[in-house]
Structure formats: structure tokens, C-alpha cells
Structure 1
Amino acid sequence: MATAAPVKDPLLDAALRGLADIALPPPVSMLPQTLGWGVLAGLVLLAILVALWRWYQRWEANRYRREALADLRQIEARLAAPATRGAALTALPVLVKRTALSVWPRETIAGLHGTGWTGFLDAHSGGPVFPIASARFFEEAEYRGTAALDAIPETEARTYVAAARHWIEAHHVRA
């Protein structure tokens, strides 16, 4: 048996044709609607810029440390060969003094030698940095000949380099 097609209701058909899509509201703006949020965003941006500027100033102020540490790595590389050990050990106290001269006035640093020099190094590093043997080396290195410095064993020379590295990294410059 065949099913008959449903009868179309003319009123229903007219009502369906008269329907319209749902009207959506406009999207919400992501911009702040009040002045306070704009001021807060400006202050946060300003704080970030000030922090970046201060970081950059501190980074630039420590350039001498980075350069001294690079020179120290070159000195350390020359310690392994006995032929260059004496020259490397001669350059080590010079590097430490040059590092100190880059931040303290020449009048303060240039005249220091012996125990006065190692006392200055300890005083500006927050405590004794140099073990007694290392302090003695830094006090007397400029008076020793290259032959005497060539005779220093590599392990002992590396302790002098470690003491110099520690001072370069840890010394405090008081404003």
C-alpha cells in the first residue's frame, strides 16, 4: 500500500518562510574600557623598561669582569705546558691588578704590593679569598724570575688561577 504525501499546511509554510536568523551581538572589545587599566598597563610597561635598563647598566658595568675572565682562560690554557707556565704565572698577578685598576682609582691600587696588596684583595672580596700559599704567590710573584715560576707544578699553578678566578668573580665594588 502506498503512503500518501502529507498535506502541506499553507499557514505553516508561510510562517517558516518568515523566520529570520538569530541576530548576534557585536564582539566584545579586548581594549580596556576604563582609564585605570590603561594606567596600570603603562606602569607595568614602565617598570619592565626600568628593569631592563638597570640590567643593561649592570651588565655593562661588569664588562671588565668578563674580559678579565676571558684573559684568565687564556692564561689557564698556557699552564699545561711547562715551557709557557712561567709566562702564564707572570701574567696572573698582572691580570688581577689590572682588573682592580679598572674599578678602583689608580691612587688606591698602584702603590699596593706585598701583604698590603693581598690585604686589599681580601678586604674587597668579603673575606679571605686566598689561601696562605696563594696569597704568598700574589705577594711575591713580581719578584720571582721566570725560571722559578717555570718550576712551579701545574697543580699548584691551578690553585693560583682558581684563587684569581674567585676574586675576579666575587669582589665587591662599594659605591
Structure 2
Amino acid sequence: MEPAAKLDPITETALRSLHDIVVPAPVSWWPQTWGWAVVAALLVFAALLVTLRRIKRYRANAYRREALTLLEGVADKLRHPATRPDAIRELAEVLKRTALAAWPRDEVASLSGDGWVRFLDAHDEDRTGDTLERLLDDFEYHGAEIVAGLPSNVCSDLVIAARRWIEQHVSA
């Protein structure tokens, strides 16, 4: 090893008087003015309102989800000719229960025949009540032999029309 070089006294004095570098304080993440706090509070309030509205809509549409679940069971029965007559009656029952959940009982419970068909058509967003009208006017009152002999495409059309009405009806 080599011997350390000797510095002159002025350099040694200058080196001893040096101080460490001063690092500035870290920048705060908190808003510096009250305006940003107001904007943040408004955003939190808006997010809370949107969340509450979605929860309210989710709860309000619980009857639709239940009706769609019941409709799946009816659709399975409609695929088999032996259970088709009972399934047609159950399909009409699911539609009536859905309407009773969405509208006041005194407005819906007494409806039957043409009044019921007009009600379904009036509250259908797409106004495509022909298939449901056929269900309510014809198939529900025919004998079991005629209903059991229905083509499967008619039954699937009934399920599609009922599903569309349940999902898209305009409730009170």
C-alpha cells in the first residue's frame, strides 16, 4: 500500500468545514388548498350516491331474478311433451306473479282474458305481445293432447317472449 498523500492545511480546513447536502422535505400528498378537498368530498359523495342507487335497483329487481329462475324450470318442462300442459299453466302463473310483484294487487289480480293480454302488451317495452297473446288466449285453455303436440319452436318462442317481458317490462 502506498502512503496517504498529505494535503495542504488550507484544503484540510476547507474539507472539514463542508456540511452534508440538505434534502428538502418530501412533498405531501394532501391537497394544499380547500378547493381540492371540496372536489374530493364531492367525488366521494357522488360515488356513494351511485352505489346506493345500484343497490336500490338491484333490490327492486329481485322479483325479476326470481321470475327468470322460475322460468328456467318451466322451460325445461316445455321441452318434454308429457309435461308441456302443466308447463304452459306454470308459465302463465310466472307471468302473473311477476306482474303482481311489480304493480299493485288491485290493478293486476282481477285481470284475465283480453284484459290480461292488453295489460301485458301495454307494459311491454317492445310491444311484441303476439306470442304471449297466443299463450294466454289459446294454449292455456286447450286440452292436454293439443298442447302436448305443439312444435318445440312454438314452446321456445313462448319462453323467449316471456323472458323478454320479464326482463324489459316497464313497471309502475
Give the TM-score taking structure 2 as reference length.
0.89
- Secondary structure of the equivalent of 1:83? coil
Number of residue pairs aligned between Structure 1 and Structure 2: 170
Contact 2:79 2:155 in 1 (8 A): no
Unaligned runs of 5+ in 2: none
Give the TM-score taking structure 1 as reference length.
0.87
The residue number in structure 2 matching 1:151 is 149
Question: Following the alignment from structure 1 to structure 2, what is the Cα–Cα distance between the partners of residues 6 and 167?
Answer: 95
Instruction: State which drifts further: 29-38 or 162-171.
Output: 29-38
Contact 1:100 1:109 in 2 (8 A): yes
Encode CA deviations 1:132-160: one digit per residue, 9 max, x unaligned.
x5412222444233333222121111111
Instruction: State which drifts further: 48-57 or 109-118.
Output: 109-118
Unaligned runs of 5+ in 1: none
The residue number in structure 2 matching 1:76 is 75
Question: Following the alignment from structure 2 to structure 1, what is the Cα–Cα distance between the partners of residues 66 and 100?
Answer: 13
The residue number in structure 2 matching 1:136 is 134
- Secondary structure of the equivalent of 2:82? helix
Encode CA deviations 1:87-133: one digit per residue, 9 max, x unaligned.
212211111111001111122112212222111111111342222x5
The residue number in structure 1 matching 2:165 is 167
Query: In the superposition, relative to structure 1, how do residues 124 and 134 fare at CA in structure 2: closer, same or farther (>3 Å)?
Result: closer
The residue number in structure 1 matching 2:109 is 110
Contact 2:117 2:132 in 1 (8 A): no
The residue number in structure 2 matching 1:91 is 90
Mapped pair 1:52 → 2:70: no
Contact 2:71 2:91 in 1 (8 A): yes
Question: Following the alignment from structure 1 to structure 2, what is the Cα–Cα distance between the partners of residues 145 and 44?
Answer: 61
